[in-house]
Structure 1
Amino acid sequence: MNTVFLDRDTFNQNVDLSAIELQSSSLRCYSMTQQDQVVERCRDAHCIISNKVLLSAANLKQLPNLKLVCIAATGTNNIDLPAAKALGIAVVNVAGYAKHTVPQYVFAQILAYYSKTEQHNRNTQQGLWSQSEIFCVLGEPMYQLANKILGLIGYGALAQEVEKIALAFDMQVLIAEHQGATTIRHGRVSFEQLLSDSDIISLHCPQTPETTGLINQAVLQKMKPSAMLINTARGALIDNQALLTALQTKQIAYAVLDVLEQEPPPKDHILLNAGLDNLTITAHIAWACQEAQQELINIIGQNIQSFKQGGGLNRLVS
């Protein structure tokens, strides 16, 4: 099994690739691959590993030796699945590797915001404690998480882990029904109720035609002025201009984004240049704890092994 890894640098260099090497007669890694390099680099490949490099129908048609594509992620938008199926190329992905790491990120951001840890550390560094006439420096108000309402939009494995942590803090958790649904499933609340009741809203739904631009001006207007919005799902779930306006006018209190609709974003992206103190943006790293990266690589090795043995582990296209 000749294997080509098209974008090795989407993982830390100290991540161990031995799980893949054990299943490959040869493994050739490229730090990154441009579109016009895909065919040349993969001409003799039986297996391609790609995190974010696009594999179009035109690419796939020029690779007659290709038997398997391993997506080094859960999302499948980087490969033409119908073309792969028509050409008899199996496609697999990975899931569950960020089960702990994304919820950890969500609560790291929630705790930083509600406990104001950065601000209180800055107070001490600036000498305010030494100058204080009392035993502490109260500074910016902190708030407990107990009894706060966390709203989850999307309720897959990651959201369910977020829910577990929230319950450990004695928070209340609401799970949104689909927007516009005429019936409400047991254990869920209407989309509108979640917006109006939640102190924190965390997005965990996939990007589909229905969810693109889901968080728009009308939705933001229904949220509490004190609400915090967190997006670790897909950037296109949020209307950027509507969010910018909502933050500038204090329509909502705070937003944390780990994803944007274009990645990497342009330097002139309106949110990157907003200069707001109620907006935190990180570079799509909620998934990327060292353990999660290693687990993802290990699953790819298991996927290749399963394919070689005629199995269907994580198979998207047969």
Structure 2
Amino acid sequence: MSLFWRLFLLNTAVLIAGAALLLWGPATVSTPFFVTEALILAAGLAVMLLVNAVLLRVGLAPLQRLARAMTTIDPLRPGTRPAVTGNGEVADLIRTFNTMLDRLEAERATSSAVALSAQEAERHRIAQELHDEVGQTLTAVLLELKRVADHAPDAVATALRQVQETTRGSLDEIRRIARRLRPGVLEELGLVSALKSLTAEVPPHSGLTARCHVDTDLPDLTDAVELVVYRVAQECLTNAVRHAHATRLDLSLLRSPTGVELRIRDNGCGLGSAPEGAGIRGMRERALLIGAELTLGPSPGGGTEVRLHVPVATKASTHG
């Protein structure tokens, strides 16, 4: 039955009940009416309106729940669906909304995969250019400075060696940036070595001490899963240094009953009430690509805890 006919029949039933009470009840209306008659009619009208309001509230409750779901559903936290309740057009509307969410989430995952793939390709290209062009140019400058310093007077040679040290520091920084853009250790040595290298390369001036623990019985992960886990860990380290002002960070990659879990805890200032930034949204986007669940919250010892739960996915099952 459509929503129109349901509401129409409910109102009809209320009006028929009111008319029946007037026909067969003891109340009468005279002309001019008495005060008691007006009070009786007012009480009857109030009862009819109350009954009508209750019936409409019950009939429209599924639409109100759907409206609340529309305002609270987060595209970056998929899987939440309003329950299909009600009858007729109301239930059809909720089913249509759930179908629309399924389609939007699938399209978002596809577009995010394309965008992130293009982003990784761009990072790879920039890292290659930094290594091949800027790195080689600075290396040539270092060699030339050394040659000139070897034949220069002592005062000039001292100044040139200072320039050498500055140039060498810039070259090391460029190489570090290139490694962050393109995790070569991830491609060559795997995820475990990449995570250990990531925590070992925290700049000393940041004041952050990072420790890494990895279980020895981890399942085989696909290249896409390893890259997402690495990028999430990388973003957490960056946030701990730049925003959380943490002094200690513990990174763990653990085996769970249904897959693997990346757990990162720091003792920084925490998330607070600030809205999620581009970094956290990027982590959520990456988690969606591999069907992982990302949660952020306060750490037991203060600070922030990030958990990335990845379902088991072997290379054979993915490529098969």
TM-score (norm: length of structure 2): 0.24
